[in-house]
Amino acid sequence: MAGVFDIDIDNPDVNQDDSDDDAIDLEELANAPVVLSQTTEDGEIKVRISVGSEDCETVQLSEQNVNTGKEKTGPQDFELRKVLGKGGYGKVFQVRKVTGQDSGTIFAMKVLRKASIVRNQKDTAHTKAERNILEAVKHPFIVDLIYAFQTGGKLYLILEYLSGGELFMHLEREGIFLEDTACFYLSEIILALEHLHIQGIIYRAPEILMRSGHGKAVDWWSLGALMYDMLTGAPPFTAENRKKTIEKILKGKLNLPPYLTPDARDLIRKLLKRQVSQRLGSALGDGEAIKVHPFFKHISWADVVSRKLEPPFKPSLVSF
């Protein structure tokens, strides 16, 4: 089983007005999935995809699980250690498995509110589809889903625990990444995104804001924004408020620092093309066009996927 997605928890009491289909939906941008990357204890990258929201609540643990395959597993099989994070989706705990063959193993347990997710038969079918996607996505650079079960009011995802911290934690500490460092992490993310595309899973980009239709190329815009952030220490389009940020994303000029190498500047420009047909990676070959770009000329893609490359950062870890 594999692949990690936070499920968007909207407020069921909020009325939705879809009367103006051409308007830019600020809430849509606010709750857009964000590609997040965490580092493993070996310094490798694992991609997880998250969704923002505002709603969360305290977790009550109880029985009744629906975990299929392997052993039957429920909340009683895990010892809570500490809260790792909380947000609109619920809470994430560090837990230790206390039963079964993997007893003693540390996991991350994500707890989601069912009430806001499963509101009718259609939503129930959608939730089951989400679970099927999680189980289908298996890749070295995508966080693994190990168990999934539910209680009366909660959904539980038991994920592999990545102890190396967020990629942006390292970026904040360093200020900016050297191009060799960015190249290493971007190459792992490219392979993860390509695998998601094979599964029919995509992200979102400027064309989502314009509601003009989208395909796999949306992820390559996001990759360009991430690359820009890695090499400059800031996102490519920022403003004092959300509305002006959207305007910059849709119409603003892309400013590239002069210290970037020609290859880096060229790749960023080609990834951040607003017109989908002009964006690198938009053709049938998907990410292949990006992988052969001169910025990655020193990368062996076979070595990347087999984890033979030395990571730029190796976190100092404390044993549990």
| Residue 154 among known ligand-binding residues | no
The model carries a pTM of: 0.71
Q: Give the separation between CA 51 and CA 54, rounded to whole angstroms.
A: 10
Do residues 77 and 67 make contact, with C-beta atoms less than 8 angstroms apart?
no
Residue 31: the pLDDT is 36
3-state secondary structure (DSSP) of residue 306? coil
Judge whether residue 50 has pLDDT over 60: no
Residue 54: the pLDDT is 34
Dump pLDDT digits (tens) for 252-311: 899 999 999 999 999 999 999 988 889 999 988 899 999 999 999 999 999 999 999 988
Judge whether residue 94 has pLDDT over 50: yes
Least confident of 33-42, 95-104, 183-192: 33-42
Dump pLDDT digits (tens) for 210-267: 444 456 788 899 999 999 999 999 999 988 888 898 888 888 899 999 999 999 999 9
Do residues 72 and 94 make contact, with C-beta atoms less than 8 angstroms apart?
no
Which of 132, 136, 77, 127 is CA-nearest to residue 107? 77
Residue type at 274 in one-letter notation: R
Q: Which domains does the chain have, with CATH numbers?
A: 26-160 (3.30.200.20), 176-305 (1.10.510.10)
